Chains A and B, each alone.
Chain A
Amino acid sequence: MKDKKLTKVDLIFENDGTCATTVLDKVRAMAQDDVIMEMIDSGLKGRGGAGFPTGLKWKFTKAENSFDKYIVCNADEGEPGTFKDREILDTVPEKVFVGMTIAGYSVGAKIGYLYIRAEYNFLLKKLNQKLDAFNVKIKDKGFDFTIEIRSGAGAYICGEESALFESIEGKRGEPRNKPPYPTVAGLFGKPTAINNVETLVYATMIMKYGAASFKLMGTQDSRGSKVFSVSGDTPNAGIYELELGMTVEDFVNDFGDGDTKAVQVGGASGICVPRKKFADMIIGYEGVPTGGSMMLFNSTRSMYNVLKDYLEFFAEESCGQCTPCRIGCQQLLQGIEAVKRGEKHPSYLDSLKKLAETMKLSAKCGLGQSVANPFSSIVDNFREEIIY
């Protein structure tokens, strides 16, 4: 399986100027089900973190019998260490709009919302200008579809799909119970296909080049390429599109500073991979999945500080709606602080790990459920750094 090496790709930021027109014309001439089949065939999985097959999501949304359906583009990008969606929206916004239009056409939605975080307000002027022209263009081409922009207001949890819907509806961004899933009852209670910015651009590129060429890249479980946001202790911080399937070691060989002791894959809610596991760990669904955040830490960094930073982040960003997460995040944070100060015996870390596992089972949404990822992977691999 370890046959993939680090390979740079240029699909997402490819900018030939004619892409929108050719792709839109091509899609318009296809049957809805054929577009969905092409997406399913490509093997594309969502690039926002959860990795649900995009074609299936569209198929389920199309299958719902409802006059009103919606497309939502998730541009909330709040996961620490992730900044690729900003770059995509800044440099190739039209390809995002095209992706939304393809999705709208396939599932039978007439309105698409682009929900963008408030930290990216500086992009709004340009986006609105481009969007006005684009909305006219797709009408001319015969698409019964309009895209509107909605802004967030500084809440990480609004990246969670159901919290995002609540926010667009004008409410507190508190996640809903699932099921029902968005494809059945999403925005305004109607069937909704929600996708990440990058996913939608891949949809555009798959319709341009065909599923077959996309499938050639990556592995069985992780088809295609992916945009990575690289930060931390690296001489090459930035945004890179890479073929999926490389190991963490391949990645570190290119991006490390020669002294990398750990890579946090997938942001604060992701998994910490220590040096001894670099060689075997594949970046993708067969190993460590990621929404694109890759943070490198060298041997000068205290992993206690890293974990504490993450826990502070979760304690602040927890919406507070359910007890396991609201109390759990605080207890984990206070717990490691108490161990550090020597007020609690080091074995208390094992009780905290159990708490994190309980949160995985009992928290209402992905935020509380995923705190165990960084917690256990850091505590297991860097226990001495947490204690001393």
Chain B
Amino acid sequence: MTDVNVIINEKIEKFGKERQALMPILQGIVADKNYITEDELLLVAETLDLSAADVYGTATFYTFLDVVPRGKYVIRVCKTISCHMAGKDQIIDTLEKTLSIKLGETTTDKKFTLLQANCMGWCHKGPVMLINDEVYPELTPEKAIAIIAEYIAK
């Protein structure tokens, strides 16, 4: 993990110390640390000279800018219509059993968080899930178990 100051400075160098640097900074923190802590939000606010409420309000608007603790691997299963018809419920059941958590929860070892999300642009190959930025289309329960096993081994 990178020091949060390093991430902030890197983004400011690229995007300037203006408001438009806010999204890239928050995205950078999530990419490195999976979620943004309260202290980090305060630090970002101070650095960009914005109110803490404004930064918090912006972060919480976006589902990918998590401000609650998340595991190292955030699993997002598509729940929208085409994936629903293709069997996303079975995939979620399988993942819940495999990871011993419910939707919305994080494993005790902080490795996995299981979430649902809306259409991710793979409707012809549903059901589909994202693990962090990685896409896994055309899932079956067996495939989902195998993919999780790979991540557990990492």
- Check A80 for interface membership: any CB of B closer than 8 A: yes
B58 to chain A: closest residue by CB: A172
Please indicate the chain A residues that have their CB under 8 angstroms from the CB of B117 in the complex: 119, 154
Of the candidates A121, A172, A230, the one whose C-beta lies within 8 Å of that of B124 is: A230
| A:121-163 near B, CB below 8 Å | 121-122, 150-156
CA distance A168 to B24 in the complex (A): 9
Q: A81-B119, A83-B122, A230-B124 are in contact. Are A153 and B63 (CB under 8 A)?
A: yes
Instruction: Give the interface segment out of A5-13, A55-63, A309-317, A336-344.
Output: A309-317
B82 to chain A: closest residue by CB: A231
Instruction: Give the interface segment out of B95-103, B104-112, B126-134, B139-147.
Output: B126-134
Chain B interface: which size bin? 35 or more
| A:145-198 near B, CB below 8 Å | 150-156, 167-174
Please indicate the chain B residues that have their CB under 8 angstroms from the CB of A153 in the complex: 23, 26-27, 62-65
- Check B47 for interface membership: any CB of A closer than 8 A: no
CA distance A171 to B21 in the complex (A): 10
A293 to chain B: closest residue by CB: B123
- Check A102 for interface membership: any CB of B closer than 8 A: no
Q: Using a Cβ–Cβ cut-off of 8 Å, how many residues does chain A contribute to the interface with B?
A: 49
Instruction: Give the interface segment out of A36-44, A232-240, A276-284.
Output: A232-240
Q: A153-B65, A309-B81 are in contact. Are A229 and B118 (CB under 8 A)?
A: no
Please indicate the chain A residues that have their CB under 8 angstroms from the CB of B135 in the complex: 122
B61 to chain A: closest residue by CB: A172
Contact check, A155 vs B61: say whether CB atoms are below 8 A apart. yes
Contact check, B58 vs A171: say whether CB atoms are below 8 A apart. yes
Contact check, B124 vs A229: say whether CB atoms are below 8 A apart. yes
Query: A residues touching B (Cβ–Cβ < 8 Å)?
Result: 77-83, 85-86, 117-122, 150-156, 167-174, 229-233, 237-239, 268, 295, 301, 305-306, 309-310, 313, 316-317, 319
Other A-B pairs beyond A118-B27, A118-B64, A170-B58, 10, CB < 8 Å: A80-B81, A151-B27, A153-B62, A153-B65, A167-B23, A170-B23, A231-B82, A238-B124, A313-B119, A316-B118
Query: B residues touching A (Cβ–Cβ < 8 Å)?
Result: 18-24, 26-27, 57-58, 61-65, 80-82, 84-85, 117-126, 130, 133-135
